[in-house]
């Protein structure tokens, strides 16, 4: 039975956000005997609310509060008010994610040492290594049921048509590292069913075969009797005492009333836009630049992966929409290789789009015969998403709008991003390689598309060995405030080319052990 906390109860860990970081952290802490309150800005949808309909679910679960795209990136024109495609609801973006569970590579934790000084970038090494995180990757893969991993023991998902077309094209041009570690049950696992290949993975898994904190971590946490979940609870400010120790969270509840929940520890896991925004909105006389921001790095170094997208039209039907949303992942280009004209690497991810999203993303705001002639061949299409390393740059980040406020009375976040020259080189390379793959299996037409709004949002509260370089230490604990933690992808010091969810979960498991131990030792 779920717990119930008084607002004046200052014994609990208050976790802001219920996605891959916050939801996992809550369960891990609860299993260790730690009591928690989860404040989630969005509604508590259930699997009954999930519809196999792209636009219906986009409208229902997406974070559509006012945000402004700024800087030199494509979103200022194509998606001026939707810089990020993430979820506002219990489970966060684990409801929306496609399920790809890739690990970082060892060099991804040492970008400054590996690449050296890169003009226009602000690279640092993580204060942890791959070896530090490897045992937690194992735990995360077991927890999430990653098909094909030794940790879970689950077999790989079946190869659908989309996989076969992409994999054959990849092999014909010399690629060999074709993978698909998916956190989707290939057979019943963890009291959830095996995948039925419905295909609407990014709209939420109706049957629960895909791992999501909505129906895995959070129900398990609540079942311990140590956790309370408060949906539609928008955090406004983290407050502190005269000694600089955080004391709790001011939030707006589902009835529009302001409430203050006292806390022993606060963990911020609201994603790479909302987490820095909350810290900046928590500025005070003691922390005039924002909470935990003595370095001036809160909100800076925003990462969202270097991405590009394209579709290929083949001579015969492919039916890419049959099966899981994500098919073959070509990983050869993710390996460290400095001879291609850019730093970092990328994955070629076979990501199927439904017909509505294909129409929307192919040429945003445009139409005409160029588009309609392609859409007429939708069943003959394959589709790829280039997902590559994004270099940290200090000027890319989250700031507060000077005058415009949202429905809670908070300054609207401005998400600024300008491509580095590295991004353009990587994007061109990835699209060229997909074209070669597609033509190798007889594609008659390849259409490049502008990147979609960012689903992978990282950085902005990055982890650093030295306080001056970032916001949190190797445990996600803020350098400035002992009992304030960051528990989401905003603590990433680099993006790697890997989708971030598995790493967020691994870090949350690791952080939970640290917090539980520190509480037991009365260090927090």
pLDDT (tens, 9 = 90+) of the chain, 524 residues, equals 789 999 999 999 999 999 999 999 999 999 999 999 999 999 999 999 999 999 999 999 999 999 999 998 877 888 888 889 899 999 999 999 999 999 999 999 999 999 999 999 999 999 999 999 999 999 999 999 999 999 999 999 999 999 999 999 999 999 999 999 999 999 999 999 999 999 999 999 999 999 999 999 999 999 999 999 999 999 999 999 999 999 999 999 999 999 999 999 999 999 999 999 999 999 999 999 999 999 999 999 999 999 999 999 999 999 999 999 999 999 999 999 989 999 999 999 999 988 988 888 888 777 889 889 999 999 999 999 999 999 999 999 999 999 999 999 999 999 999 999 999 999 999 999 999 999 999 999 999 998 878 789 999 999 999 999 999 999 999 999 999 999 999 999 999 999 999 999 999 999 999 999 999 999 99
For residue 483, which phi and psi values (nearest 5 degrees)? -105, 25
Tell me the per-residue pLDDT of 75-110, one tens digit each, with 9 for 90 and over. Answer: 788 888 888 989 999 999 999 999 999 999 999 999
Q: Are 454 and 83 in contact (CB under 8 A)?
A: yes
* Residue 283 structural domain: 13-520
Query: Residue 348's closest CA among 454, 436, 421?
Result: 436
Residue 469 lies in a domain: yes
Residue 1 lies in a domain: no
Q: How far is CA 251 from CA 125, 187, 231, 257, 307, in A?
A: 35, 41, 11, 8, 35
Tokens for 422?
A: 């590295």
Query: Residue 37's closest CA among 57, 15, 61?
Result: 15
Q: Residue 260 is inside which H or E element, if any?
A: strand 258-262
Residue 4 lies in a domain: no
Query: Residue 429's closest CA among 493, 384, 382, 396?
Result: 384
In angstroms, the CA 279 to CA 283 distance is 7
Half-sphere exposure of 500 (CA within 13 A, CB side): 32
Q: b vs e for 269-282, b when ≥16 Cβ sit within 10 Å of the residue's Cβ?
A: bbbbbbbbbbbbbb
């520890």: which residue's tokens? 265
Categorise residue 385: left if φ over 0, alpha if ψ from -120 to 50, beta otherwise.
beta
Query: Residue 486's closest CA among 282, 316, 339, 344?
Result: 282
Q: How far is CA 196 from the centre of its chain?
A: 25
Tokens for 135?
A: 């045992």
The pLDDT score that the predictor gives to residue 145 is 98
Q: Are 280 and 293 in contact (CB under 8 A)?
A: yes
Coil, helix or strand at residue 55: helix
Residue 6 lies in a domain: no
Residue 2 lies in a domain: no
Query: Residue 346's closest CA among 126, 495, 173, 133?
Result: 495
- Counting the structural domains of the chain, the total is 1
Residue 7 lies in a domain: no
Read off the CATH number of the domain in which 61 is found. 3.50.50.60
Q: Are 257 and 408 in contact (CB under 8 A)?
A: no
Tokens for 141?
A: 């893969």
Instruction: Give the pTM.
Output: 0.97
- In this structure, the number of other CB atoms found within 10 A of the CB of residue 409 comes to 9
Residues β-bridged to residue 268: 16, 486
The residues near 381 (Cβ < 8 Å, ≥ 6 apart) are 311, 312, 313, 314, 318, 320, 358, 374
In angstroms, the CA 83 to CA 103 distance is 25
- For the chain, the maximum distance between any two Cα atoms, rounded to a whole number of angstroms, is 70
The pLDDT score that the predictor gives to residue 362 is 85
Tell me the per-residue pLDDT of 338-360, one tens digit each, with 9 for 90 and over. Answer: 899 999 999 999 999 889 888 88
- In this structure, the number of other CB atoms found within 10 A of the CB of residue 187 comes to 14
- In this structure, the number of other CB atoms found within 10 A of the CB of residue 65 comes to 17
């Amino acid at each position: 039975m779920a717990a119930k906390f008084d607002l004046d109860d200052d014994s609990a860990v208050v976790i802001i956000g219920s996605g891959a970081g916050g939801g996992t952290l809550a369960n891990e802490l609860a299993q260790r005997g730690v009591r928690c309150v989860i404040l989630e800005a969005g509604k508590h949808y259930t699997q009954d609310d999930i519809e196999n309909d792209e636009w219906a679910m986009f409208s229902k679960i997406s974070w559509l509060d006012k945000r402004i795209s700024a800087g030199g990136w494509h979103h200022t024109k194509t998606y001026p008010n939707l810089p990020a495609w993430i979820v506002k609801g219990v489970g966060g973006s684990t409801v929306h994610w496609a399920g790809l569970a890739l690990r970082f590579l060892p060099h991804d934790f040492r970008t400054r040492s590996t690449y050296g000084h890169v003009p226009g970038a602000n690279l640092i090494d993580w204060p942890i290594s791959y070896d530090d995180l490897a045992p937690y990757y194992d735990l995360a893969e077991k927890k999430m049921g990653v098909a094909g991993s030794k940790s879970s023991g689950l077999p790989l998902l079946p190869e659908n048509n989309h996989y076969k077309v992409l994999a054959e094209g990849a092999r014909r041009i010399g690629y060999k590292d074709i993978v698909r570690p998916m956190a989707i049950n290939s057979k019943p696992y963890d009291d959830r069913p095996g995948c039925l290949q419905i295909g609407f993975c990014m709209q939420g898994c109706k049957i629960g075969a895909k791992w999501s904190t909505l129906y895995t971590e959070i129900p398990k946490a609540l079942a311990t009797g140590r956790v309370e979940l408060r949906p539609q609870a928008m955090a406004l400010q983290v407050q502190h005492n005269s000694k600089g120790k955080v004391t709790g969270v001011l939030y707006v509840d589902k009835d529009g009333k302001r409430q203050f929940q006292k806390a022993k520890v606060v963990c911020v896991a609201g994603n790479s836009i909302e987490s820095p925004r909350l810290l900046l909105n928590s500025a005070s006389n003691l922390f005039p630049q924002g909470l935990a921001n003595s370095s001036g790095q809160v909100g800076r170094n925003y990462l969202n992966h270097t991405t590009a997208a394209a579709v290929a039209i083949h001579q015969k039907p492919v039916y890419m929409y049959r099966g899981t949303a994500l098919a073959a992942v070509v990983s050869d280009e993710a390996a460290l290789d400095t001879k291609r004209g850019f730093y970092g690497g990328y994955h070629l991810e076979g990501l199927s789009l439904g017909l509505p999203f294909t129409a929307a993303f192919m040429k945003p705001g445009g139409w005409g015969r160029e588009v309609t002639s392609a859409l007429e061949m939708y069943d003959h299409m394959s589709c790829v998403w280039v997902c590559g390393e994004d270099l940290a740059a200090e000027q890319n980040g989250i700031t507060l709008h000077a005058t415009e406020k949202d429905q809670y009375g908070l300054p609207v976040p401005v998400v600024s991003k300008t491509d580095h020259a590295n991004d353009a080189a990587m994007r061109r390379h990835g699209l060229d390689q997909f074209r070669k793959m597609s033509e190798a299996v007889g594609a008659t037409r390849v259409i490049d598309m502008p990147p979609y709004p960012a689903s992978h949002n990282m950085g902005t509260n990055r982890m650093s060995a030295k306080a001056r370089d970032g916001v949190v230490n190797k445990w996600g604990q803020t350098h400035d405030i002992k009992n304030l933690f960051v528990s989401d992808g905003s603590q990433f010091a680099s993006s790697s080319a890997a989708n971030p969810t598995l790493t967020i979960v691994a870090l949350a498991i690791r952080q939970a052990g640290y917090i539980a131990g520190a509480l037991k030792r009365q260090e927090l």
